[in-house]
């Protein structure tokens, strides 16, 4: 049995698709699986037991055409994406059966449940979604001698999802007597991470490491597994933390926490203000005040950590 799976593009979405993917693979017994996706989504599943081949999809249509011709024939094809490029790819794939995810068919559900229902509808099954499970591994030999807190100020969706560096820094300063601090982020988050670092330096806080833009995805996942607490906005690393059951403070502003909060992590506190304008799902605050994030203070995060303790 040869299965082709096109993964969601974003780290968080791909992680949230893993319960559905594991149910899908389990249904077919021991299939040979080829994964297509972004470099990020491929990274989290390339070491899955059933993975026989992985391919990163280029945005260039000619490259997609060439890739499709080199893949060969499959017994079944599942796409967890619904873009124009995905539709183009679907037309080119050689497979007896083809299934494509359409998010508008699944309302008022967590994204994990949406993906899982898509698989159930395709297969005629009634699988329950399990925990998030990537093929990324915990750090084998943690070197930290003190408790660790990780802060993740970035978010790919847009600035409206980002909490303020001053508030992240206040949390770090408050907790620095008890915890060492790791600042996470991708290449695009180096500026906001540096803003946090500068505030820590001004306050004579030295027990931190700024890792923004300095880790691979595998290294990021390994470091997250060493944390005692993780403080983050609605982001891909938030879902990695959930997959490892790391105690997490999740800060939500313009997005729907009922759809994209951590899945099956009992050690999670969601911080949000429940304003009338939430969730607007906009990349930039349309009302210009950004109160959904601005009204959340460092003290709220510290109190949430005490709840988890």
Q: What is the pLDDT of residue 272?
A: 97
Give the tens place of pLDDT for each residue, 55-112.
999 989 999 999 999 999 999 999 999 999 999 999 999 999 999 999 999 999 999 9
Q: Indicate whether 263 pLDDT > 90.
A: yes
Q: What is the pLDDT of residue 293?
A: 96
Q: What is the pLDDT of residue 277?
A: 97
Q: What is the pLDDT of residue 127?
A: 98
159 band by pLDDT with thresholds 50, 70 and 90? confident
157 band by pLDDT with thresholds 50, 70 and 90? low
Q: Report the alpha-carbon distance of residue 151 to residue 119 in Å, rounded.
A: 34
Averaged confidence pLDDT in the chain: 95
244 band by pLDDT with thresholds 50, 70 and 90? very high
Whole-structure pTM value? 0.96
Interval 225-242 mean pLDDT: 97
Give the tens place of pLDDT for each residue, 193-231.
999 999 999 999 999 999 999 999 999 999 999 999 999
Q: What is the pLDDT of residue 155?
A: 72
Give the tens place of pLDDT for each residue, 291-305.
999 999 999 999 999
Interval 44-51 mean pLDDT: 95
Interval 9-20 mean pLDDT: 97
């Amino acid at each position: 049995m040869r299965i082709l799976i096109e993964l969601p593009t974003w780290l968080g979405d791909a992680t949230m698709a893993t319960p559905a993917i594991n149910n899908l693979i389990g249904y077919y017994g021991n299939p040979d699986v080829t994964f297509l996706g972004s470099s990020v989504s491929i990274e989290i599943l390339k070491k899955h037991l059933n993975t026989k081949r992985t391919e990163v999809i280029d945005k260039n249509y000619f490259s997609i055409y060439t890739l499709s011709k080199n893949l060969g024939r499959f017994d079944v094809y599942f796409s967890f994406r619904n873009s124009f490029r995905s539709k183009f790819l679907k037309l080119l794939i050689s497979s007896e059966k083809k299934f494509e995810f359409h998010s508008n068919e699944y309302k008022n559900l967590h994204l994990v449940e949406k993906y899982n229902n898509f698989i159930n509808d395709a297969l005629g099954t009634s699988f329950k979604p399990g925990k998030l499970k990537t093929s990324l591994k915990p750090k084998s030999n943690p070197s930290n001698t003190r408790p660790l807190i990780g802060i993740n100020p970035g978010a790919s969706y847009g600035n409206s999802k980002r909490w303020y560096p001053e508030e992240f820094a206040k949390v770090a300063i408050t907790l620095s007597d008890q915890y060492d601090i790791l600042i996470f982020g991708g290449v695009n988050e180096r500026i906001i991470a540096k803003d946090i670092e500068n505030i820590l330096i001004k306050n004579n806080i030295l027990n931190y490491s700024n890792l923004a833009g300095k880790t691979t995805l595998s290294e990021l996942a390994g470091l997250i597994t060493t944390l005692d607490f993780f403080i983050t906005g609605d982001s891909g690393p938030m879902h990695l933390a959930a997959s490892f059951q790391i105690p997490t403070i999740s800060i939500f502003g313009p997005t729907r926490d009922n759809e994209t909060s951590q899945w099956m992590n009992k050690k999670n506190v969601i911080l949000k203000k429940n304003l009338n304008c939430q969730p607007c799902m906009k990349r930039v605050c349309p009302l210009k005040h950004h109160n959904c994030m601005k009204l959340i203070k460092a003290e709220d995060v510290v109190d949430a950590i005490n709840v988890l303790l």
